[in-house]
């Protein structure tokens, strides 16, 4: 083996060692992931209407019976790792009456809704459908009734609700 080939082999080993060290430092968590975070979608229906299906920026969120929700999760939606003013999502949902003899037909609704302030990443996007066709979006690590939650409590059926 000539001196050139032997020197080339040494350089290759040295560069390989540097690459391995760089990869290990990256895996050690010293360089944070700059890509989007991901959350499951959970719907809460605070109205007497049945929500047939809903979408958050095109991602399907499931369906929600009147005065219920929070128990089911649909995967997933991506969101920025850091909240910023003006952060919104388009919410689209269809409703009909939950009352057997109520008005017939399905109605579609669509709103651009602000995503409420979050200071840490959450594993859930809690979607609250409120009376008057309003919606709140909250990134959180738990249900609507968890400690520190900044949104509405889970829906409660009115005492006189027959369904």
**Tokens encoding 152:** 């509405």
Residue 60 structural domain: 37-140
Whole-Å CA distances, 146 to 6, 38, 73, 102, 136 = 64, 20, 16, 34, 17
Q: Does residue 128 form part of some domain?
A: yes
Q: Among residues of the chain, what percentage have pLDDT more than 90?
A: 63
Residues 73 and 9 in one domain: no
Say how many C-beta atoms besides its own lie within 10 A of residue 127's C-beta: 28
Tally of domains in the chain: 2
Q: What is the mean pLDDT of the chain?
A: 83
pLDDT of residue 72: 72
Residues 6+ positions from 2 with CB-CB distance below 8 Å: none
Render pLDDT for 120-134 as a digit per residue (tens, 0 to 9): 999 999 999 999 999
Q: Does residue 55 form part of some domain?
A: yes
- Band of pLDDT at residue 32, cut at 50, 70 and 90: low
Which range of 34-38, 43-47, 67-71 scores highest in mean pLDDT? It is 43-47
- Band of pLDDT at residue 75, cut at 50, 70 and 90: confident
Residues 85 and 130 in one domain: yes
Residues 9 and 57 in one domain: no
Residues 112 and 135 in one domain: yes
Residues 10 and 55 in one domain: no
pLDDT of residue 15: 45
Residues 99 and 22 in one domain: no
Q: Does residue 51 form part of some domain?
A: yes
Using an 8 Å Cβ cutoff, are 136 and 151 in contact? yes
Q: Does residue 130 form part of some domain?
A: yes
């Amino acid at each position: 083996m000539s001196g050139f080939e032997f020197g080339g082999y040494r350089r290759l080993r040295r560069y390989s060692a540097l690459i391995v060290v760089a990869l290990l430092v990256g895996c050690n968590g010293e360089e944070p992931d700059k890509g989007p975070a991901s959350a499951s979608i959970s719907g809460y229906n605070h109205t007497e209407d049945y929500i047939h299906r809903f979408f958050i920026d095109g991602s399907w969120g499931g369906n929600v019976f009147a005065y219920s929700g929070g128990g089911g999760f649909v995967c997933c939606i991506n969101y920025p790792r850091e909240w910023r003013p003006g952060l919104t999502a388009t919410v689209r949902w269809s409703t009909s009456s939950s009352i057997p003899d109520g008005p017939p037909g399905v109605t579609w609704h669509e709103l651009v809704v602000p995503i409420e302030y979050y200071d840490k990443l959450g594993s859930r996007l809690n979607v609250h459908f409120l009376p008057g066709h309003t919606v709140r979006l909250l990134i959180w690590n738990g249900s609507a009734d968890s400690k520190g939650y900044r949104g509405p409590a889970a829906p409660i059926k009115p005492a006189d609700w027959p369904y």
